A and B are shown apart, each in its own frame.
Chain A
Amino acid sequence: MDEGKERDLIARAKHDPEAFGMLYRRYVKRIYNYHYRHTGNPGEAEDLTSRTFYRALRSMERYHDRRVSFQAWLFRIAHNLVVNWYRDQSRRKTVPLEVEDLLANHEGPEASVEGRERRESLLQAIERLPEERKTLLVLKFTEQLSNAEIGAVLGKSEGAIKSLYHRTLISLRTMLTEEAQNENPV
């Protein structure tokens, strides 16, 4: 869908339930994926996805596309809910990401054991990252958002996002190197 059509759909969605339904269908998978990447639990991801869209419905009239793109606006709502979720989780002290689930869902038996292990280590390292850095990676690689849009979601400048991204890659590499050294001590 091109930009003009999307803008038209967003304008209609402010007073037309069917147009809102179309917007929902357009974004639901991405919002769910975003929540799943953070929670690692389908139930929690579904709950946060519903809350994101109900909140979007309530705030739809106040949305103006001059300030920020619709997808960045929607991901910002999702991000705020994820931040609250992390706050609640830290009180409950549970381990969120089910890496095995993630792998089981997306890798067939043909995937090599080595590749699977490498991916598992990487996903576990991503899981150990602070919430903001994890959000950055999900938005960049799964949702293909630009640095400016990620900045709009996280409330940071484009330059700050570039710098955060660079630091995230370095910490990921450090984590994986340390893990490899622990497994194979010289």
Chain B
Amino acid sequence: MRIPFRTRYLTLQEEFTPQVQAAWESILAAALIPVLPDPAFVAKLGYDLVEEAASRWKARQRRRQVWLAVGWVGGSILTVVGGLVGLHFWQRRNAQGIMETQTAEIPAPAILSAS
């Protein structure tokens, strides 16, 4: 016969009273005493980790500096190119404007105006 989950749960609770559980906990706490590592191992690993961390952070800083330099140079180049392009268009527009003004100021030939 299949036992409903709730019944099984209640059975477990009855099987393990809080007093029994507390007794087991004290036995387990007494048995599972911390095991200490060899101090030489702790010191060596600590030294290696700090060295590794320092070299990682130096490498990261170098990468950041390289990206900053790339950004700075790229930004400068873009600014100069952008400026030159802008100047070129400004000059072209200016030249066109002057030509249009000059064309408008030329008077029509006399023959054409007589006819």
Residues of A within 8 A of B (CB): 15-18, 20-21, 24-25, 28-30, 32-33, 36-37, 42, 45-46, 49-50, 53-54, 57, 102, 105-106, 119, 122-123, 126, 137-138, 141-142, 166-167, 169-170, 172-173
Contact = CB atoms under 8 A, between A and B. Distances in A.
Interface of B: 12, 15-16, 21, 24-25, 27-38, 41-42, 45-46, 48-54, 56-57
A37 B45 contact: no
Contact of B42 (A28, A106, A167): A28
Nearest to B41: A46
Nearest to B51: A17
A20 B35 contact: no
A122 B26 CA distance: 12
Nearest to A138: B32
Nearest to B54: A17
Contacts of A15: 57
Contact of A106 (B33, B46, B49): B33
B34 A33 contact: yes
Given A25-B46, A28-B46, A49-B45, A33 B35 contact: yes
A50 B34 contact: no
